[in-house]
């Protein structure tokens, strides 16, 4: 990925659309310029009320480990765009990070279904189901949705990592 080149090219264009500002903030976040990214996303969210700006801001807060704030902001993004799989996935992930596993499982199952089986949503959903009910919950999920043992194993590994990193 060429995030730095993308930033340079974007800076050469006119910043007269919300899309330019959002893409710039997103690229800044991807090159760990989180404070600058946060500032731009916050400004666009405040000015335009865009779910994409709230979503980006929530992702930045997750990266900054400001998890309670991330959940609050991602909830706003979800309220503005309830059928956006990416928003639901990131909201569910943030909920998992603060230990709200039941709610996370709901959001991530929704994201998984909206995305028609996106790998990130799948792995996060498996992790949340494991954190809610262990292997029994995963067995039920595997029967309902039809996942491979390898996919279940990766989701279980993510759940264990999240438990190790829990505050």
Q: Residue 97: which residues within 8 A CB-CB, separation 6 or more?
A: 62, 67, 70, 162, 165, 166
Cβ-contact 136, 107 below 8 angstroms:
no
Cβ-contact 132, 126 below 8 angstroms:
no
Q: What is the pLDDT of residue 41?
A: 94
Q: From its phi and psi, is residue 148 left (phi > 0), alpha (psi between -120 and 50) or beta?
A: beta
Q: What is the pLDDT of residue 107?
A: 98
pLDDT mean for each 10 residues of the chain (167 residues) = 65 68 87 93 92 97 97 98 98 97 97 94 96 94 92 96 87
Handedness of CA 149, 150, 155, 158 (dihedral sign): positive
Give CA–CA dist 2/86, Å, rounded. Answer: 22
The pair of structure tokens assigned to 45 is: 């969210």
Q: What is the pLDDT of residue 127?
A: 97
DSSP letter assigned to residue 17: S
Give CA–CA dist 96/127, Å, rounded. Answer: 9
Q: What is the pLDDT of residue 18?
A: 80
């Amino acid at each position: 990925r060429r995030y730095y080149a993308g930033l340079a090219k974007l800076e050469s264009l006119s910043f007269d659309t919300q899309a330019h500002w959002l893409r710039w903030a997103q690229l800044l976040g991807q090159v760990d310029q989180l404070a600058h990214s946060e500032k731009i996303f916050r400004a666009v969210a405040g000015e335009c009320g865009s779910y994409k700006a709230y979503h980006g801001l929530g992702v930045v807060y997750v990266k900054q480990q400001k998890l309670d704030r991330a959940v609050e902001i991602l909830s706003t993004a979800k309220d503005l765009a309830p059928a956006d799989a990416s928003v639901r996935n990131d909201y569910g992930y943030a909920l998992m990070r603060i230990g709200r596993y039941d709610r996370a499982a709901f959001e991530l199952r929704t994201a998984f279904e909206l995305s028609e089986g996106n790998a990130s949503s799948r792995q996060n959903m498996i992790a949340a189901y494991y954190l809610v009910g262990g292997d029994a919950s995963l067995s039920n999920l595997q029967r309902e949705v039809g996942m491979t043992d390898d996919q279940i194993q990766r989701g279980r590994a993510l759940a264990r990592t999240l438990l190790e990193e829990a505050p």
